[in-house]
Amino acid sequence: MSRIRQTKTNFTAGEISRRMLGRGDLRAFENGALTLENVFIHPTGGVTRRPGTSLIDEIDDNGRLIGFEFNTEQTYLLVFTDEQIDVYKDDVKVATLSSPYTFAQLSKIVWTQSADTLIICHPDVEPQLLTRSSHTNWALNAVTYKTEEGQTYHPVHRFIDPQVTIDPSGVSGTITLTASTNIFDASWVGKFIDISDGQVEITGYTNATTVSANVLKELSNHDETNIWYEKAFTDEHGWPTTVAFHQDRLVFGGSRDLPNRLWFSKTGDIYNFSLGEGLDDESISFAILSDQVNAITAIFSGRHLQVFTSGAEWMVTGSPLTPSTVQVTRQTRIGSPIDRYIPPINIDGATLFISRNGKEIREFLYTDVEAAYTATDLAILARHIVNAPIDQDYDSKRRLLFVVMEDGSIGVLTVYREEAIAAWTTMSTQGTYKAVATINGDIYFLIERNSKILLEKLDETKTMDVEDELTSETPTNAWLDNMLYADSHIAYIDENGYTGNRHIDSNGFFSTAYSVSSVKFGYPFNNIIEPLPPSVLSPSGNAKASRLVEARFRLEDSEILKLDIGHGLDDYLANDFDEETPQFTGDKAVRAMGWHKDLTKPLWRIEQKEGKAFTLLSVTTETKVND
């Protein structure tokens, strides 16, 4: 029989899958845990019970959240719902706009921001420009391109066979266009054609080879030519799928009929897509050609322009980026989801994106040694947490990446690349998470509770979700809420620190154990910390049994230590309910008895539903092993 003393100094490996229980040789086994629920991991290694949430608003329907940051002082939250956009500033709704996006389309909207302008794309909707002129004055309009001498410089493409020629009858006014083969039909009326350094709008259909047109910009000649272009983006051919700014150019990526093509505006003239003569500052357009035609799902401006497709990841290079220097090179073959847009996130110089299989969070990172990008899987140790992500955003203040899953759960990834930390925890609540957005350190969620969609914010001053407070001039134990919590289970903390759980009836009534003048209440949530089982070996191999002799928990500013060491949960920091519970900082030693023959189970477990502060820095255990 031997005695083993082990210290878990940190939790920087995060929650680890049970499939790793046989890998006690890994460093992650020392710093990981079996369960980390509703706690946040500090980059320094400790874990803290997550804050509760405050209610911002009740939303009419499910939707999508987008952060809009003009600067650090002027930040807004955009809530996209069915054909509507609500704008919030300082947690107050300041504007509402009509939008062309239906609820079914919200999953595929893509956006990019420049100063007080947000450009929004969807493959079935003309690109929109959301502009802000004041806190309360917002406008949403279709993107308009630069017009000069009658010609509009929109993105163009040749959809017809390149051998087909068009012969214009003149250079100005009303002219006739004659094609060398049958290409026209009545749907061409209203289309624009760029030809002979000019532009015409088709006004009438004659037959399959002949149409009439109005010259918008005078042609340089009326010779027959096969060099002519149509508008790249229309209802017929589809609208841009993705959008970004890169090297002072506006970049569109993909469309329904051109899924693997990129369009770059002129440098410094973002609404001008004139191909011109191919000068260095002029527009660029090219297709990503490979063994497969993979649709572009996202583009991201980093060290290079990063292009994410359904089957691979690419980088677009050029120093500077010009029509003659542009190069596109495939880097990895992971692929991204095609059924919805999940924005890639930059963290410490790496771009985190969701893999197409919906089970991986990949870190797309350029390495100088290989002069190429790699795509490390950050979820390999916690595959059980990542399950079909639908949204993600990063809080740089806490260094936390929030990933919303299709089943309504949230995985939280603590990322600190300098210290090689990528640690997972989970969040749960009485409801399902639908969307997330972070704005200047504030974290917002859309959560469905009791068939209602609530806009909530993580709030350090709250200990329960959707926490509210009721007061009474005279002490009472009968309370009436605002019907938001009707017919649901809540927790409460009265003015004396007494906690309890109640069911609010269908009329909004609930009672407290004592008559008090104020009570805080909300949806409770459990924080759970469960270590990995001990990795102990006897001289002859695996130990047969182990016994926890003592566990020493190093706490910081904690009001509770609800611990199970084999005989049920007990609060080892319990105080008289009539006194305010002090916060404890220091070591708390707990002795245990009894042997464990099942070495796949942890020796202790922390589970707390009370809304009290809790931070665990390290745990030292002393165990006996029976050989």
For residue range 64-118, what is the model confidence (pLDDT) as tens digits? 999 999 887 899 999 999 999 999 999 999 999 999 999 999 999 999 998 889 9
Look at residues 458, 464, 459 and name the one whose alpha carbon lies nearest to residue 499.
464
As a whole number of angstroms, the distance between CA 417 and CA 419 comes to: 5
Q: Are 198 and 215 in contact (CB under 8 A)?
A: yes
pLDDT digit string, tens, across residues 137-150 = 999 999 999 999 99
Q: Which residues contact 213 (CB under 8 A, 6 or more apart)?
A: 168, 174, 175, 176, 177, 193, 200, 201, 202, 203
Largest CA distance in the chain: 101
Which backbone phi and psi does 107 adopt, to 5 degrees? -65, -20
Q: What is the pLDDT of residue 106?
A: 98
Instruction: Extract the tokens encoding 3.
Output: 């005695």
Task: Compute the Cα dihedral for 426, 432, 435, 440 and give only its sign.
Answer: negative
Q: What is the pLDDT of residue 418?
A: 86
More confident residue, 153 or 496: 153
Instruction: Extract the tokens encoding 84.
Output: 């509507």
As a whole number of angstroms, the distance between CA 454 and CA 449 comes to: 7
Which CATH number is 156-231's, of 3.50.50.60, 2.40.10.170, 1.10.3720.10, 3.40.1380.10? Answer: 2.40.10.170
The alpha carbon of residue 4 and the mean position of all alpha carbons in its chain are separated, in whole angstroms, by: 43
Q: Which residues contact 202 (CB under 8 A, 6 or more apart)?
A: 177, 188, 189, 190, 191, 192, 193, 211, 212, 213
Q: Are 220 and 228 in contact (CB under 8 A)?
A: no
Terminal Cα-to-Cα distance of the chain (whole angstroms): 6
Which CATH number is 2-48+526-626's, of 3.10.350, 3.10.50, 3.30.70, 2.60.120? Answer: 2.60.120
Look at residue 119 and tell me whether its pLDDT is greater than 70: yes
Look at residue 581 and tell me whether its pLDDT is greater than 60: no
H helices then E strands: how many in the chain?
1, 56
Q: Which residues contact 420 (CB under 8 A, 6 or more apart)?
A: none
Instruction: Extract the tokens encoding 33.
Output: 């845990």
As a whole number of angstroms, the distance between CA 546 and CA 594 comes to: 9
pLDDT digit string, tens, across residues 150-181 = 999 999 999 999 999 999 999 999 999 999 99
Which secondary structure element, helix H or strand E, spans residue 27, and what is its range? helix 27-31
- Complete DSSP assignment for 87-149: EEETTEEEEEEE-S--GGGGGG-EEEEETTEEEEEETTEEEEEEEESSSS-EEEEE----EET
Look at residues 616, 427, 390 and name the one whose alpha carbon lies nearest to residue 523.
427
Q: Which runs of E-coded beta strand occur in 189-343?
A: 192-195, 198-207, 210-217, 228-231, 242-246, 249-253, 261-264, 284-287, 296-301, 305-309, 313-317, 327-332
pLDDT digit string, tens, across residues 353-381 = 999 999 999 999 999 888 999 999 999 99
Classified as helix, coil or strand, 417 is helix
Q: What is the pLDDT of residue 539?
A: 43
Residue 305, number of CB atoms within 10 A of its CB: 25
Look at residue 537 and tell me whether its pLDDT is greater than 60: no
As a whole number of angstroms, the distance between CA 207 and CA 212 comes to: 10
Q: What is the pLDDT of residue 596?
A: 66
As a whole number of angstroms, the distance between CA 297 and CA 341 comes to: 7
- Residue found under tokens 């050609």: 289
Q: Which residues contact 138 (CB under 8 A, 6 or more apart)?
A: 85, 87, 95, 97, 130, 131, 132
Total number of residues shown for the chain = 627
The alpha carbon of residue 418 and the mean position of all alpha carbons in its chain are separated, in whole angstroms, by: 22
Q: Are 158 and 232 in contact (CB under 8 A)?
A: no
Structure confidence at residue 526 as a pLDDT band (50, 70, 90): very high
Classified as helix, coil or strand, 63 is coil
Structure confidence at residue 484 as a pLDDT band (50, 70, 90): confident
CA distances from 206 to 76, 176, 185, 209, 212 (A): 52, 10, 8, 8, 7
As a whole number of angstroms, the distance between CA 75 and CA 255 comes to: 31
As a whole number of angstroms, the distance between CA 153 and CA 436 comes to: 37
Residue 539: asked if its preceding bond is cis (omega within 30°), the reply is no
Q: What is the pLDDT of residue 579?
A: 56
As a whole number of angstroms, the distance between CA 524 and CA 501 comes to: 8
Q: Looking at this protein, which amino acid is placed at residue 231?
A: K
Where in the chain are the domains? 2-48+526-626, 156-231, 465-523
Residue 79, number of CB atoms within 10 A of its CB: 25
Q: Looking at this protein, which amino acid is placed at residue 546?
A: S
Q: What are the residues facing 151 on neighbouring strands? A: 148
Q: What is the pLDDT of residue 542?
A: 57
As a whole number of angstroms, the distance between CA 418 and CA 428 comes to: 29
Q: Are 624 and 2 in contact (CB under 8 A)?
A: yes
Pick the range with the lowest mean pLDDT from 191-205, 482-496, 540-554, 563-577. Answer: 540-554
Q: Looking at this protein, which amino acid is placed at residue 288?
A: I
What pTM was estimated for this model as a whole? 0.93
Q: What is the pLDDT of residue 578?
A: 44
